[in-house]
Amino acid sequence: MLVLRKFARDTSGMVGLVIVLLTAVVAALAPRLAPHPLDAYESHPAERLQEPSRPHPLGTDNLGRDVLSRVILGARAALTIAVLVVAGAMLIGVPLGLVAGYHRGWVPEIIMRVTDVFLAVPQLILALALAQLLGPSLKNAMLALTLTYWPFFTRIVFAETRRIRVSVFVEALEGLNAGARRVMFLHILPNAAPPIIVRATIGMGFTILSAAVLGFLGMGATPPDPEWGLAISESRQYLPEAWWFATFPGIAIFLVVFGFNLLGDGLRDVVDPRLRRSR
Amino acid sequence: MSGDLVLAVGGLGISIATDDGVARVLDHVDLRIPRGRIVGVVGESGCGKSTLVRAILGILPRAAQVERGTILLGGEDLLHLSQRELTRRIRGKEISFIPQDPYLALNPVFSVGTQLLEIMRWHAGAGDNGDASRQGHRARLVELLRAVQIPDPEVALERYPHQFSGGQRQRVLIAGALACRPRLVIADEPTSALDVTTQLQILRLLRDLTNRFGVSMLFVTHDFGVVAQLCDEVMVMYAGQSVEAGRTAEILDRPRHPYTQMLIACHPDRTHDLTGIPGTVASPLAAPSGCRFHPRCPSARAVCSAARPSAVVEAAGHEVSCVLYHGPVSHV
Amino acid sequence: MSERVILAVEGLETLLGGERRLLGRERPPVRAVAGVSLALRENEILGIVGESGCGKSTLGRTILGIQRETTGTIRLDGRTVSGLGPRAARRARRDIQYLHQDAAAALDPWWSIGRSIEEALVISGVGSRAERKARIDRMLAAVGLEPALKRRYPHELSGGQLRRVTLARVLVLAPRIVILDEPTSGLDLSVQATVLGLIRELLAEFRLTYLFISHDLSVVEEMCDRVAIMYLGRIVELADTRQLFEAPAHPYTRMLLASAPRLATGQDLGAIPIHGEPPSPTAVPSGCAFRTRCPHEIALCADALPTLEPVVHGREVACHRWRDLAAAPVTSARRAP
Amino acid sequence: MLRFVLRRILLVLPVLFGLLVLTFVLVRIVPNDPSAALAGQNATPQQIVEIRAKYGFDRPLIVQFGIYLRQVVQADLGTSIQSGRPVARDILQRLPATLELTFAALLLGAGLGVPLGVLAAVRHNTWLDHGLRFFTVGGVAIASFWFAIMLQLLFSMQLDLLPLRGRLGTAMTAPTQLTGLFLLDSLLTARFDAFRDALRHLALPAVTLSLGAMATITRFTRSGVLETLQKEYVLYEIAAGYPRWLLIAVYVLRNSLVATITQVGLLFGALLAGAVVVESIYDWPGIGSYAVTAIFTSDYKAILAVTLLVGIVYSIVNILVDLIHGLIDPRVAAEF
């Protein structure tokens, strides 16, 4: 396909793809890759806050656990959260956007007004409030993120559907007397897919960041889970001496989110016809 | 044809590097525009009309490469000028441009007056920007808007493009094209987005104004009917080659080149058996050698694929690039 | 062409848009079609001609049924098919199909040509898979396309090929009437000729009737049996093609004919006075809509709406002054003999 | 234009109403016992009973919503558990600090982001463009709380160049309150020592907060300029002989800024969200750190009030964005 060939030429997009694939592999094989897989939950007070060294390349934390191992194990948590939250948000948001964009009348009106309300508060703040009300736990954090992320998909799908709905080929299908469901799911949805995919890709990175913030503020993962945001939060009182404790989980977050963003950005350029021509 | 040429394009060849290889968009184009005349350039899509226009204006895309040829404006080869000189002296000043789609050609967020006065101010040059000349520009622009029959020109200057109809916008653009007293106006299908009654009014205006201001015009179009209405002379292009040029009546009534003959025969005013021209225009990525029309030409011979035939003078000012006319005497 | 009327439209009116929003500027509806009556005869090509915004496309869409008529009746073979909801209207009018102006845009870019054509049959619930394939192959051959094309995608085809594909998609449903909306717009002259030739061949082969919407007078003169001229939602003149082009009766028809670029030498650009642009469809003048641009306007034109009245057999004009003007000479660029 | 403004404001009203419904739903329906939740963890049974009576939790939901609505309109947002003072007063007192921080970040982000974006577009597909792309994609990939800690680690703890936390040094008295923005107040009252100190304290939080905004603005300005450069009117302007610098600096930029400004409106939300994290790390006495403390102490009234306030501020900013939009592009205002 032309699109794939074009994407293959896009260096930064490919770098993003490689980072994302590597992260996926690391997450899948985390317990095998981590040098000290048991450090997820075991502590070794004797070895606390050791500088990076041969046995602990990234040092140890306040409980003597291997930072490298916990960073690797954290990848699994981060990716799981991202996939579940984005998938959940799409499951809610995409059909709503499709229905609101295709039909006219009060149902779309209500859907879009509710979406507006959700979008009027920054997602993170809403998620924080919701997570707090539901009670701090990883499960509730994910639920809060999902329940506040779907409007982004609704809005994109809505706009795309409105645009495609008035296109000539949809009118031609109406001339052939095609039904609403056929037009919506067989024609509009595939045509709206590229921006949805881009949004989902970037949304993965975004969700990893948000989840880390929730973890950092104590609204997400709970100790002793190996989660990056939580780890950085735990590290604060040991600064500036134990700099490695704070630094490496942050670099891990950066790398993974960077990978998703590069990938999404590359995909955007491929699917965005406006930027295809260069003058 | 007199020696008094405003513009002379000779043997122009341009290629553009694309993802799929080098496209030889223009192979060999000759074009002459005598002073005070309106010369039409006609051809179907992909014939290289717009590349020719962009080459003359010096606004070819970055990937384009001029391989050979000259573009002489009053004896000066524009291809040898830097972008800086083109901007300072040529574009908008010596050669101005009327674009295809009046709906898209004006910047929507600036008033019409701001846009047109900016051009005039810029081309007036440094040291000529005092209040007096500013008033002068404004007065001249109002005069021009009146000449293109924009009602209330003073008020019109303050208005935004979306407040004008398509025909009025095209009038504004014509006024803009004449603002800096150019020698040559290039009009790129300026009426194809307009309805026929509006089109005729615009064509009339162009005809009157070229006479009145003594400018020459290059008029690009795909419509032979418009050529018949407006142009003194016409040049026919096929796949990056100029194939025939001459007086309009001569070309329309006695076309010499097989392509011109077949194309004119496709016009519903000239035919009743709608058969078209067999085959399709070759991609510039894999253009045929020699005369690029030879794969579709019923009169093609072996020599046609060898080299592009040079132009032959067939009648006064009528030149054809086709071996059918390569007699022993008339060869130039 | 027979005299049998296959489609009769009576007093058709279509209002478009129109909304009143909170604190927003009120937008009155546009009468895109403002009372059109016409009869389409079996196996004829009836041209609908007018400038952009005259309502010719809306008329086509209303007759097709994807745009609902506000008032008026449409009878197909004597059967009333108007006054129905959108899907019911299309079911009742399945004998009418529509060819879109922009063939490239009329096909879903994600679907292969074969699937797009087959979908027309699937929606109509036609036949088994094998039967559909046979019908599609036959139709592709009829429009002059290779069966191998079925696996290609719209962006891989040329303008002429796409036009043939969209023709095949509507003809595979075996319609009796096809509304052709600017069927050659955007095509090069040489391609236009072959497409027009094909359209004419198909008329005979499938015993079709065409409503031919166009702004290109050269094409219309070549293709159509009869022509209706529209101005701001109304038909102002309806006549046999030859009659109309030889002796246009309505002042607007005269203006249109005189403006049209024709392939004839020795034209005089200034022969006919033409002024103004068509008024906005949201502010149609009272009485005769054309009076603001008409050189022959009298007081009556502003007061009374002229209706289509028969002039001679088969010819109708909506002008208060056609009798006075019939005497006046007409200049227009005529096609070369 | 007036009609346009009024219409924009009217369109926001349903959103604000929706916001009230949302916050109402959040606190009345999500927790098991809203009275207990509202009273806080250390409340006595007596307090819970009082709360129940005050908010009418024994009455039908619709009545409760009416009570809630009246309280909000009267700016009675309840008493904060952490400070023991009315939430509305707490918020009013802390709002200027947050505004100072977010505006500083926005100014920094736009001031650098717009030129960088134009540069990237003009040098499209060069190493500079690719480098800036790395920056724009990377800038939004950094967790702000981590970035804040890293900056503290480097500039405060290791190099000792800038203060670690707070809005002013402990020895410094705050300038007389006029606007509540320390930078502005200190300048207006000619307190240059306070200005210097406030600026030093503002530097790290503002840089932290602006990083993502700057990246986003750069990116949208770049694509806006690139898109505008492909427009037909730019081709016309080039053909009319506009020099390139004039074309880009005036004609292209103004069109491209439409996209950028829309983005700034959306970014403001991200900035407010970012302020929550950044303020709590730098101990910045604004709404954000207030919200975080509220979360830790389960101070529902404060959480709700902040959510409501952020929604209102965000809506106002977006009205402003639309107005600027209308001023830049006359077609937008003409639509209404």
Of all residues in chain A, the one with the smallest CA distance to D38 is: A133
User: Pick the residue with more confidence: B172 or A43?
Assistant: B172
What pLDDT score does A273 carry?
A: 47
Q: Is the pLDDT of residue D164 over 70?
A: yes
- The answer to whether the CB atoms of B87 and D329 lie below 8 A apart is no
Q: Is the pLDDT of residue B1 over 70?
A: no
Of all residues in chain D, the one with the smallest CA distance to B87 is: D241
Is this prediction's pTM over 0.80?
yes
Instruction: Give the 3-state DSSP-derived string for D290-303, with helices as H, strands as E and coil as C.
Output: HHHHHHHCCCHHHH
Closest Cα of chain C to D297: distance in Å?
Answer: 44
D123 to C272, D120, D225, D251: CA distances (angstroms): 53, 5, 11, 17
The residue length of chain A stands at 279
Does D97 contact chain A (CB < 8 Å)?
no
- The answer to whether the CB atoms of A176 and C108 lie below 8 A apart is no
Please give the Cα distance from D126 to C21 (Å, whole number): 49
Residue C328 tokens read as 């006046």
Of all residues in chain D, the one with the smallest CA distance to A257 is: D141
B-chain CB neighbours of D251 within 8 Å are 107, 110
C-chain CB neighbours of D336 within 8 Å are 24-25
Does A277 contact chain B (CB < 8 Å)?
no
- The answer to whether the CB atoms of D240 and B176 lie below 8 A apart is yes
Could you tell me the mean pLDDT of each successive run of 10 residues in chain A, 279 residues long?
67 89 91 80 78 82 84 90 96 95 90 89 86 85 94 94 93 92 94 90 93 89 84 85 86 94 85 43
What pLDDT score does D336 carry?
A: 54
Amino acid at A55: P
| Subunits with 3+ C-beta pairs closer than 8 A to A | B, C, D
Does D7 contact chain B (CB < 8 Å)?
no
What pLDDT score does D88 carry?
A: 87
- B240 phi/psi in degrees, rounded to 5: 85, 10
- Give all strands (DSSP E) within chain D, no chain letters: none
Please give the Cα distance from D95 to A112 (Å, whole number): 30
Please give the Cα distance from B320 to B327 (Å, whole number): 12
What pLDDT score does B62 carry?
A: 86
Q: Which residues are within 8 A (CB) of A47 and not within 5 positions of it... i.e. 6 or more apart?
A: A56, A60, A64
Residue A4 tokens read as 């794939």
The residue length of chain D stands at 336
**D33 burial via Cβ count (<10 Å: 0-12, 13-18, 19+):** exposed
Across the C:D interface, residue pairs with CB atoms under 8 Å apart total 11
Q: Is the pLDDT of residue D35 over 80?
A: no
Does B108 contact chain A (CB < 8 Å)?
no
- The answer to whether the CB atoms of C193 and B195 lie below 8 A apart is no
- C9 phi/psi in degrees, rounded to 5: -115, 130
Amino acid at A157: V
Distance between first and last Cα of chain B? 15
Does A171 contact chain C (CB < 8 Å)?
yes
Best of C90, C102, C108, C116 to disrupt the A interface (most A CBs within 10 Å) is: C108
The number of beta carbons lying within 10 Å of the beta carbon of residue B183 is: 18
Rounded to a whole number of angstroms, the CA Rg of chain C reads: 21
What pLDDT score does D321 carry?
A: 86
- The answer to whether the CB atoms of B110 and D231 lie below 8 A apart is no
User: What tens digit of pLDDT does each residue of B107-141 get?
Assistant: 998 999 999 998 888 888 655 556 778 888 999 99
Closest Cα of chain A to D179: distance in Å?
Answer: 25
Residue A178: which of C91, C106, C123 has the nearest Cβ?
C123
Q: What is the DSSP letter of B325?
A: G
What pLDDT score does B219 carry?
A: 97
User: What tens digit of pLDDT does each residue of C222-241 get?
Assistant: 999 999 999 999 999 999 99
C-chain CB neighbours of B262 within 8 Å are 190
- The answer to whether the CB atoms of D3 and C23 lie below 8 A apart is yes
Please give the Cα distance from B310 to B312 (Å, whole number): 7
ipTM > 0.95? no
Q: What is the DSSP annotation of A126-179?
A: HHHHHHHHH-SSHHHHHHHHHHHHHHHHHHHHHHHHHHHHTSHHHHHHHHTT--
Does D251 contact chain B (CB < 8 Å)?
yes
Q: Is the pLDDT of residue C22 over 70?
A: no
- The answer to whether the CB atoms of D157 and A12 lie below 8 A apart is no
**Which of these, D280, D307, D268, lies nearest to D87 by C-alpha position?**
D307
Closest Cα of chain D to C26: distance in Å?
Answer: 9
What pLDDT score does D30 carry?
A: 65
| Subunits with 3+ C-beta pairs closer than 8 A to C | A, B, D
- Give all strands (DSSP E) within D99-230, no chain letters: none
- pLDDT band with cut points at 50, 70 and 90 for residue C19: low
Q: Which residues are within 8 A (CB) of B286 and not within 5 positions of it... i.e. 6 or more apart?
A: none
- A6 phi/psi in degrees, rounded to 5: -65, -40
Please give the Cα distance from D260 to A80 (Å, whole number): 34
Does D85 contact chain C (CB < 8 Å)?
no
- The answer to whether the CB atoms of D37 and A133 lie below 8 A apart is yes
Q: Is the pLDDT of residue C335 over 50?
A: no
C133 to B78, C128, C140, D44: CA distances (angstroms): 59, 9, 10, 79
Of all residues in chain C, the one with the smallest CA distance to D334 is: C25
Does D152 contact chain A (CB < 8 Å)?
yes
- A152 phi/psi in degrees, rounded to 5: -60, -40
C332 to B199, C267, C291, C301: CA distances (angstroms): 16, 9, 21, 25
Please give the Cα distance from C310 to C237 (Å, whole number): 10
Rounded percentage of chain D residues whose pLDDT exceeds 90: 23
Torsion, Cα of B195, B198, B200, B201 (10° steps):
-170
Please give the Cα distance from C331 to C260 (Å, whole number): 12
A-chain CB neighbours of B61 within 8 Å are 279
**Which of these, A257, A259, A250, A249, lies nearest to A207 by C-alpha position?**
A257
User: Pick the residue with more confidence: C294 or A54?
Assistant: C294
Residues C214-235: b if buried by 16+ CB within 10 A, e if exposed: bbbbbbbbbbbbbbbbbbbbbb
- pLDDT band with cut points at 50, 70 and 90 for residue D50: confident
Please give the Cα distance from A180 to A173 (Å, whole number): 10
The number of beta carbons lying within 10 Å of the beta carbon of residue C34 is: 21
**Which of these, A214, A243, A242, lies nearest to A228 by C-alpha position?**
A214
Amino acid at D33: D
C-chain CB neighbours of A171 within 8 Å are 66, 100, 106
Q: Is C186 within 8 Å of C214 (Cβ atoms)?
A: no
Of all residues in chain B, the one with the smallest CA distance to C216 is: B196
Please give the Cα distance from B296 to B281 (Å, whole number): 9
Please give the Cα distance from B173 to A18 (Å, whole number): 51
D residues 7-46 lying closer than 8 A (beta carbon) to C: 7, 10
Q: Is the pLDDT of residue B330 over 50?
A: no
Q: Is D261 within 8 Å of D128 (Cβ atoms)?
A: no
Residue D292 tokens read as 């975080």
Residue B19 tokens read as 């993802």
Name, of A170-174, B280-284, D42-46, the range with top average pLDDT. Answer: A170-174
Residue A191: which of C66, C102, C110 has the nearest Cβ?
C110
The number of beta carbons lying within 10 Å of the beta carbon of residue A62 is: 16
Rounded to a whole number of angstroms, the CA Rg of chain B reads: 21
Strands B38-42 and B95-98: unpaired
| Subunits with 3+ C-beta pairs closer than 8 A to D | A, B, C
- The answer to whether the CB atoms of C106 and A191 lie below 8 A apart is no
**D99 burial via Cβ count (<10 Å: 0-12, 13-18, 19+):** middle
Q: What's the mean pLDDT in D169-186?
A: 82
Residue A124: which of D133, D273, D296 has the nearest Cβ?
D273
Best of A125, A227, A268 to disrupt the D interface (most D CBs within 10 Å) is: A125
What pLDDT score does D303 carry?
A: 81
Strands B318-320 and B312-315: antiparallel
What pLDDT score does D37 carry?
A: 67
Residue C68 tokens read as 């609902």
User: What tens digit of pLDDT does each residue of C161-214 get?
Assistant: 999 999 999 999 999 999 999 999 889 999 999 999 999 999 999 999 999 999
User: What tens digit of pLDDT does each residue of D280-332 get?
Assistant: 999 999 999 998 888 777 777 788 888 888 888 888 888 888 888 888 888 77
CA D211 remoteness from chain centre: 14
Residue A117 tokens read as 């309300």
Closest Cα of chain C to D336: distance in Å?
Answer: 6
Strands C309-310 and C316-317: antiparallel
Residue D241: which of B91, B99, B115 has the nearest Cβ?
B91
Q: Is the pLDDT of residue D82 over 80?
A: no
Please give the Cα distance from C53 to C34 (Å, whole number): 12
Nearest-5° angle of CA A122, CA A123, CA A126?
A: 90
- The answer to whether the CB atoms of B199 and C259 lie below 8 A apart is yes
What pLDDT score does B331 carry?
A: 43
Does D235 contact chain B (CB < 8 Å)?
yes
Does A6 contact chain C (CB < 8 Å)?
no
Does B77 contact chain C (CB < 8 Å)?
no
Please give the Cα distance from B201 to B191 (Å, whole number): 10
Name the least confident of A74-83, B18-27, D34-43: D34-43
Element of type H or E holding B216 = strand B216-221
The number of beta carbons lying within 10 Å of the beta carbon of residue C326 is: 12
Of all residues in chain D, the one with the smallest CA distance to C24 is: D336
Does B62 contact chain A (CB < 8 Å)?
yes
**B119 burial via Cβ count (<10 Å: 0-12, 13-18, 19+):** buried
Closest Cα of chain B to C3: distance in Å?
Answer: 24
Q: Which residues are within 8 A (CB) of C244 and not within 5 positions of it... i.e. 6 or more apart?
A: C227, C229, C237, C253, C315
